[in-house]
Structure 1
Amino acid sequence: MKEKLLDNLEHVLTFVGILLLTFLISFLVNKFFKRQIRKSTEVMNTDPTNYQFLRHLVIALIYIVGTSIAIYTMPKLRLLATSLLAGAGVLAVAVGFASQHALSNIISGIFIVIFKPFRINDRLNVGGRMGMVEDISLRHTVIRDFENRRIIIPNSIISQEIITNSDYGDDKICKWIDIGISYDSDIELAKSIIKSEILNHPLHIDPRTEAKKNNGEELAPVKVVQLAESSVILRGWAWAKDSADSFKMGCDLFESIKLRFDKEGIEIPFPHKTIVHKERVTTKK
Structure 2
Amino acid sequence: MDNFIDILKKDTSLLAHVIVILVITLLVYVVFNKLVSKGIKKHMISEDFDATNSRFLQQMVSVLILLIGLSFIIFMIPNLKHIATTILAGAGVIVAVIGFASQQVLSNIISGIMIVITKPYRLKDRISVRAIEGVVEDITLRHTVIKNYENKRIIIPNSVMSSEVIVNANFAEDICCEWVEMNVSYTADIKKAKAIMKDEIIKHPLFIDHRISLNKKNTDDIAPIRVISVGEFAITLRAWTWAANPGDAFLMGCDLLESIKEQFDKEGIEIPYPYSNVVWKNNRE
TM over 0.5: yes
Q: SS at the partner of 2:44?
A: helix
Q: SS at the partner of 1:183?
A: coil
**What's the C-alpha RMSD, in Å, of the aligned pairs?**
2.1
User: Offset of 1:276 from its aligned partner?
Assistant: 5.0
Of 12, 24, 28, the match for 1:25 = 28
The aligned counterpart of 2:265 is 262
Measured in 1, the distance between the counterparts of 2:165 and 2:103 equals 23
Is 1:223–2:233 an aligned residue pair?
no
Measured in 2, the distance between the counterparts of 1:134 and 1:182 equals 45
Give the 5 Å matches for 1:125-164: 125-164=128-167
The aligned counterpart of 1:178 is 181
The aligned counterpart of 1:197 is 200
1:57 to 1:169, Cα distance in 2 relative to 1, 3 A: same
Q: Which amino acid aligns with 2:21?
A: I
The aligned counterpart of 1:271 is 274
The aligned counterpart of 1:252 is 255
Q: Which amino acid aligns with 1:265?
A: G
Percent of matched pairs sharing the same residue: 46
Query: For the Cα contact (< 8 Å) 1:12–1:74, is it kept in 2?
Result: no
Measured in 1, the distance between the counterparts of 2:47 and 2:220 equals 36
Of 206, 211, 224, the match for 1:208 = 211
Moved more, 4-13 or 173-182: 4-13
1:98 to 1:277, Cα distance in 2 relative to 1, 3 A: farther
User: Offset of 1:279 from its aligned partner?
Assistant: 7.0
Q: Which amino acid aligns with 1:58?
A: V
Q: SS at the partner of 1:198?
A: helix
1:279 to 1:25, Cα distance in 2 relative to 1, 3 A: farther
Is 1:110–2:113 an aligned residue pair?
yes
1:250 to 1:44, Cα distance in 2 relative to 1, 3 A: closer
Measured in 1, the distance between the counterparts of 2:86 and 2:282 equals 92
Measured in 2, the distance between the counterparts of 1:242 and 1:146 equals 16
Q: Which amino acid aligns with 2:274?
A: P
The aligned counterpart of 2:69 is 66
Measured in 1, the distance between the counterparts of 2:281 and 2:12 equals 97
The aligned counterpart of 2:3 is none
User: Offset of 1:89 from its aligned partner?
Assistant: 4.7
Measured in 2, the distance between the counterparts of 1:254 and 1:202 equals 15
User: Offset of 1:240 from its aligned partner?
Assistant: 0.3
Measured in 2, the distance between the counterparts of 1:6 and 1:96 equals 36
Q: Which amino acid aligns with 2:136?
A: V
User: Offset of 1:6 from its aligned partner?
Assistant: 6.3
Give the 5 Å matches for 1:94-109: 94-109=97-112
User: Offset of 1:7 from its aligned partner?
Assistant: 4.4
User: Offset of 1:261 from its aligned partner?
Assistant: 1.0
The aligned counterpart of 2:127 is 124
User: Offset of 1:274 from its aligned partner?
Assistant: 3.5
Q: SS at the partner of 1:42?
A: coil
Deviations 1:56-85 (A, max 9, x none): 111011111111211222223223333444
Q: Which amino acid aligns with 2:29?
A: S
Is 1:14–2:17 an aligned residue pair?
yes
Moved more, 272-281 or 235-244: 272-281
Of 187, 190, 193, the match for 2:190 = 187
TM-score, with structure 1 as normaliser: 0.91
Measured in 2, the distance between the counterparts of 1:91 and 1:5 equals 28
Gaps of 5+ in 2: 1-6
Query: For the Cα contact (< 8 Å) 2:109–2:158, is it kept in 1?
Result: yes
